[in-house]
Chain A
Amino acid sequence: MNEPGSQPAVKPLLLQGSVLTQPPTRAKVWGTLMVALLLSLLPWHDQTLWLAPDFVLMVLLYWNIYAPRLAGLGMAFGLGLVIDVAHGVLMGLNALAYCAASLAVLAVRRRLENFDVPRRTVQVAPILLAKEVLVLGIGLMAGRDNVDWRWLAAGLVAGLLWMPLAWLLDRLCGRPGLTGKAAE
């Protein structure tokens, strides 16, 4: 960035020099997913259960953008099954919803990866909300007709929390805050 030849106002197409990012390693991806899984296994209070966001999906979607080879559709399917068991819902319900959410992110990941955190969040949050709608919808179709629509709030909370999460994981990868650099 501070090379004399390049114009300081123009943002380089690819990150260069000192701001080059460290590639996300397998340990980082699996470690953060594990932490997210543990968070979702916490004994939440009975009354606030429907507000608890889906941490695993939030982290998964982040890695879908930056490490699609380590966390792709297969990972989404496997994690979905684990969450199905942990939440005691129909087998395959979350697996399908995770795969669909991952597909949506993977299809547009080339575009997403160059946005800064708030703009990425604006695009990922609808996917997080759509996942909750999908889970309730599939359950409805599978004959579970007593749906508690309050649970859609979890999708909203997940969308709101995705921004700090993306900041956090950006720091973990050494990815520079794009907003700060672009403003300079």
Chain B
Amino acid sequence: MSQAPLFAREMGLFARFGVYALLSLSLIVLDARYASLGWLRTGLSVVLDPLQGLVAAPLGWTHSVSQFMVAHNDLIRTNTRLVRERDALGVQQQDRQTLQAENDRLRALLQLPPSPRITMLAAEIVRAMPDPFSRKIIISRGATQGIEAGLPVIDASGLVGQVTQVSAMTAEVTLLTDRDQGAPVQDQRNGVRVIVSGTGSDNLLEVRFLDVHADLKAGDLLYTSGLDGLWPAGIPVAQVLQTEPPKHTPFARALCRPLGQVGQYRHVMVLKPHAKGAR
């Protein structure tokens, strides 16, 4: 420990606090208004990510140990179920390929541009962000695997969210349930186009500004419309729970249940469009 000087030759406590407060406030303004601190964030997260991995490692070990102790019967049962599911999926896949080929031919006949091809990158959910202002998760793929900000993220049952920040080995996904997140969707039944947004709650989405006469009923399935040019069309997003008549505003409101299940799966898929011209 260093020797404390007899007479302190330094700024007073409150003056020092003033300097640091000014510094933090300018950082806050820079980040909130101009979003110009990405480099600092990426730099610090390069240090933090390995630490995070270190801490999460024991949890991974307990997981693998408990998997090792699984009963033989369970394994056989799961295996039979999976083989059956794979066979069913194989049939669907063949069907899909024929449809895709037919679709391509029809689009060519109509002289429409071919629909964009996408690849799927599987990623593991590392952790949920403790952020009181938004709902985010961290996934285990980053810029080195070709993840970019803006790519959509789905799981086995539907749309989960969107990549909002990328560091070298991890990426931050803002969930669809975040209040600032939204997705342009289309009703599967009649093609009505609306925008669903998050409410901040885990299992509720809403259509905020719904036309009073819009034909949206409880039970309708909403799929991405692909109109934003960002997310491919046809990803299941939500199911309408109920519509509320307008109360104090000229607009009605519809409540929906998100189809993507963030809490249940450890893995998600990031959809990456192919480069132009490449097939």
Residues of A within 8 A of B (CB): 23-26, 37-38, 40-47, 49-50, 52, 69-70, 72-74, 76-77, 80-82, 85-93, 95-96, 99-100, 103, 106-107, 135-136, 138-139, 142-144, 146-148, 151
Contacts and interface: CB of A to CB of B under 8 A. Distances in A.
Interface of B: 1-2, 4, 13-14, 16-17, 20-21, 23-32, 37, 40-41, 44-45, 48, 51-52, 54-56, 59, 126-134, 136, 138, 165, 172, 178-180, 200, 202, 262-263
A161 B32 CA distance: 33
A106 B13 contact: yes
Contacts, number: 139
Contact of B262 (A43, A46, A73, A95): A46
A148 B263 CA distance: 19
Contact of A136 (B127, B132, B178): B132
Contacts of A49: 128, 130
Contact of B28 (A45, A50, A91, A151): A91
Contacts of B129: 87-88
A135 B132 contact: yes
B17 A73 contact: yes
A69 to B, nearest CB: 7
A75 to B, nearest CB: 11
Contacts of B25: 92, 96
A38 B41 contact: no
A69 B4 contact: yes
Q: Is the interface of A mostly helix, strand, loop or mixed?
A: helix
Contacts of B55: 38, 41-43
Contacts of B56: 42-43
A133 to B, nearest CB: 11
Given A49-B128, A69-B2, A146 B134 contact: yes
Nearest to B48: A86
Contacts of B14: 103
Given A77-B20, A91-B30, A148 B133 contact: yes
Contact of A44 (B127, B134, B172, B179): B127
